[in-house]
Amino acid sequence: MGKLFGLIGHPVGHSMSPFMHNDQFANLGIDGHYHAFDVHPKDLEAAIQGIRVLGISGFNITIPHKVNVIQYLDEVDEEAKQIGAVNTVVNKNGKLIGYNTDGKGFVVSLMQLAGDSVLHKKMLLVGAGGAARGIYITLARLGVQHIDIANRTVEKANELIASCSFPITSNALSIIEAEKNLFNYEIIINTTSVGMSPQTGMIPIDLKNMKAGTILSDIIYNPIETKWLKLGRSLGGVVQNGVGMFVGQGALAFELWTGQKPDFKGMEKIVRTQLGGN
């Protein structure tokens, strides 16, 4: 009998995960199917109970359930605990185990762009919300020595830094402070929603003090290239959009569910096609 996988979020109508995972099931000859379920926050507990009863083999969790789902799971792995959010659940013989593949998915895609040496570079994270948290904790856990965090609300950057139990040197900065000293960084990562459709005319941080050759990674993939990345490219930056992180988190989830490594490039291609890119 085939295995069922899925996504729980609200809304999920535009999710590309079903295309990406179902394509890999077909390519690898796995008898599985992935479906997106729109679950209102008030129904989350019932939905998780439904998953148990129906024996769904694994699922992803997206906005707004990544934090709240934790209370309904049987176990949460160490990294997801540190991040405080779960995006992937494995049903292991009836036991629901939570993981977080968002941060690692980002790191995998960054390494594909620039190699393992990225972990030795000086980084600036823009934003201090949920997405920033996953990336920051994962990078700190992997041994990155220096990551500063710039955020509109500096206090939130301070809180994120204080919550990290891994050894790392970090300063919380205002956006203006970071803009003045941008030449200090070799990698700048936008984790905010600034520039995302429909507000495509905004940029999260100005780049005029950036060194040419700096890696600019934007976790946004809609639009596929934000105004910020276009600006960065014109100033000599090496740019990366959010498709890589999205595919990275999906590929790691797929591996947790099936024990098989999916075709990263194939997944990337299908997502780009869905987004109308090439």
Site of interaction with ligand ATR (CB under 6 A): 127-132, 151-153, 156, 191-194
Nearer to ligand ATR, 94 or 201 (CB): 201
Contact by Cβ (8 Å): 88, 61: yes
Give strand pairing partners of 89.
Answer: 59, 98
With tokens 């990345």, the residue in question is: 229
Taking the least distance from each CB to ligand ATR, the nearer of 51 and 216 is 216
What is the smallest separation between the CB atom of 84 and ligand ATR, expressed in angstroms? Answer: 11
Minimum CB distance to ligand ATR, residue 122 (Å) = 20
Cβ nearer to ligand ATR, comparing 22 with 68? 68
Q: Which residue, 91 or 226, is less far from ligand ATR as judged by CB?
A: 226
Strand order in the sheet with 75-76: 32-38, 3-9, 58-61, 88-92, 95-99, 75-76
**Is 66 among the residues known to form the active site?**
yes
Minimal CB distance residue for ligand ATR: 129
Q: Residue 145: how many CB atoms within 10 A of its CB? A: 15
Least Cβ distance, residue 116 to ligand ATR (angstroms): 26
Least distance between ligand ATR and beta carbon 88 (Å): 16
CA angle 177, 178, 179 (to 5 degrees): 90
Angstrom distance (rounded) from CA 116 to CA 270? 26
Do 190 and 204 touch, CB atoms closer than 8 A?
yes
Q: CB-wise, 96 or 132, nearer to ligand ATR?
A: 132
- Can you tell me the distance from the alpha carbon of 14 to that of 23, in angstroms, rounded to the nearest whole number? 17
Catalytic residue (choose from 66, 92, 122, 261): 66
3-state secondary structure of 227: helix
d(CA 118, CA 68): 33
Nearest distance from residue 92's CB to ligand ATR, in Å?
27
Task: Just list the catalytic residues.
Answer: 66
